Amino acid sequence: MSVSTVRSVRHVFAGSAPNRSRNGIQIDPHYLDPVPGSVHMGETREERIAEFLEENDVPVVGLREGGWLRVSGGAVTLHGSARVFRRGVEPQECRTGPLTP
């Protein structure tokens, strides 16, 4: 299991990097949901994650405040709430419980 962060910059990894493994995940800590109707001219976290997924086929877990992950023996358990982003599919809302990368 490989866990990395995508918080501030767009990452691009070589095909042999550990986080490109089948079981790797990326974490976006302090994930904030987009505010409907906002006139903010910057990128939202969701837009930045979508850009990341254009180049990287690895799930991204957008952890909301107070959320955390426990990784044990290859199993990932979410505590709190998060949105899980995968290339080519709509984000999935998740609450406390097992997480399937």
What does the domain layout of the chain look like in residue ranges? 3-99
80: left (phi over 0), alpha (psi -120 to 50) or beta: left
Q: Which residue has the higher pLDDT, 101 or 25?
A: 25
80 Cβ contact list (under 8 Å, min separation 6): 63, 64, 66, 67, 68, 95, 96
CATH fold label, 3-99: Rossmann fold (3.40.50)
Q: pLDDT tens digits, residue range 6-25?
A: 554 444 343 344 444 445 88
Structure tokens at 57: 């086929």
pLDDT of residue 6: 56
Distance CA 76, CA 78 (A): 7
Q: Which of 38-42, 43-47, 48-52 has the highest mean pLDDT?
A: 48-52
Whole-structure pTM value: 0.75
88 Ramachandran zone, left/alpha/beta (phi>0; psi -120 to 50): left
